[in-house]
């Protein structure tokens, strides 16, 4: 299987993760005018599973290092399969809440609040479990990211007070989703071998862990999204028949979104072999910055809102400096 052999390559992969995790929601924004996000989400999950399997049978099965996907799957301990599966269930619950928050409050709000919170809590959780990297630089970087989140919240408050509608529900969903999002990665990481070249018996390689994780998302979606369709956060209930009335464009947009997200997840897990789980996760969740850039400059979510330019500039600077410190933490 393909194994990252240098810290530089690992950091590059985490930047791809950052771009993927911060950009997939654009597919939801593209689809939302004609396609409810509950319907979009079925295709999104299918896209995740498809990409996980594609990686497993290509990068996860080529070369002589590590264990090939099918060999790894056959020798896996059920407890480790269960951890990766649980990680998928937790992620799905969190992601549905964040996706709902995007539909209600916009990308430039839901991502910095929800995913930003997930970054802070997730780095702490993963560092306590596997302390890799310089803690002082790592947590200073996280503190700056936290300051960026607070700055974005202040900018959002200005936007809300100048709007006829205050989507408080979007903030609440982002917060709950962020807390759950901070937990899923640790379960996946705990199912994996610490040495990818010579993986320990019973533990999973990154590719197997990602496939099982994606199946946890798929299985839990049968419950979570069905409930959401019957009791949506906003709008009228939707039916399964509505899903099958969607055109190829609607379905492919959701599948593309899921594939983009899964590329990010796969690269994050692969990079963790050299960068360590706290840094790999923390850099990937710099997606907050990417999503905020999309929300502010492409979707114009703060257009016409007075007094936010300086706040948004400060938010981006704090994110950039914080992410830089997290990268440096892995070099010392």
CA angle 290, 293, 295 (to 5 degrees): 110
Most distant pair of Cα atoms in the chain: their distance: 61
What is the pLDDT averaged over residues 219-225?
Answer: 96
The ranges assigned to domains in the chain are: 7-329
Task: Say how far apart CA 132 and CA 136 lie, in whole Å.
Answer: 11
Is 0.85 topped by the overall pTM? Answer: yes
Nearest to 148 by CA among 172, 116, 188: 116
Q: What is the pLDDT of residue 166?
A: 46
> Count of CB atoms within 10 A of residue 53's CB?
18
pLDDT in tens, 26-75: 998 888 888 998 999 999 999 999 999 999 999 999 988 899 999 999 99
Task: Say how far apart CA 190 and CA 79 lie, in whole Å.
Answer: 10
What is the pLDDT averaged over residues 208-236?
Answer: 94
Task: Tell which wins on pLDDT, 167 or 291.
Answer: 291
pLDDT in tens, 293-319: 887 887 777 777 788 889 889 988 998
Task: Say how far apart CA 197 and CA 69 lie, in whole Å.
Answer: 13
């Amino acid at each position: 299987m393909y194994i990252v052999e240098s810290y530089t390559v690992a950091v590059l992969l985490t930047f791809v993760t950052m771009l993927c995790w911060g950009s997939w929601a654009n597919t939801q924004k593209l689809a939302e005018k004609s396609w409810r996000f509950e319907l979009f989400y079925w295709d999104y999950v299918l896209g995740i599973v498809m990409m996980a399997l594609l990686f497993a049978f290509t990068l996860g099965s080529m070369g002589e290092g590590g264990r090939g996907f099918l060999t790894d799957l056959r020798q896996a301990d059920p407890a480790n399969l269960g951890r990766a599966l649980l990680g998928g269930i937790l992620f799905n619950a969190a992601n549905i809440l964040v996706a709902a928050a995007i539909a209600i409050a916009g990308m430039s709000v839901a991502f910095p609040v929800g995913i930003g919170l997930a970054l802070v809590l997730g780095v702490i959780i993963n560092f306590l479990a596997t302390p890799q990297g310089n803690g002082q630089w790592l947590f200073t970087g996280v503190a700056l990211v936290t300051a960026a989140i607070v700055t974005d919240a202040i900018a959002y408050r200005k936007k809300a007070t100048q709007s006829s509608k205050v989507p408080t529900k979007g903030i609440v969903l982002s917060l709950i989703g962020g807390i759950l999002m901070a937990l899923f990665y640790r379960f996946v990481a705990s199912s994996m071998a610490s040495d990818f070249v010579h993986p320990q018996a019973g533990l999973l390689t990154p590719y197997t862990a990602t496939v099982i994780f994606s199946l946890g998302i798929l299985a839990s979606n049968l419950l979570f999204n069905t409930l959401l369709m019957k009791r949506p956060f906003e709008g009228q209930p939707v039916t399964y028949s509505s899903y099958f009335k969607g055109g190829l464009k609607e379905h492919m947009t959701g599948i593309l979104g899921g594939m983009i997200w899964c590329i990010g997840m796969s690269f994050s897990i692969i990079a963790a072999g050299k960068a360590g789980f706290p840094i790999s996760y923390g850099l990937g969740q710099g997606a907050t910055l990417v999503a905020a850039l999309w929300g502010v400059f492409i979707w114009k979510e703060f257009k016409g809102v007075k007094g936010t330019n300086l706040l948004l500039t400060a938010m981006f600077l704090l994110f950039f400096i914080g992410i830089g410190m997290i990268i440096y933490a892995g070099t010392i």
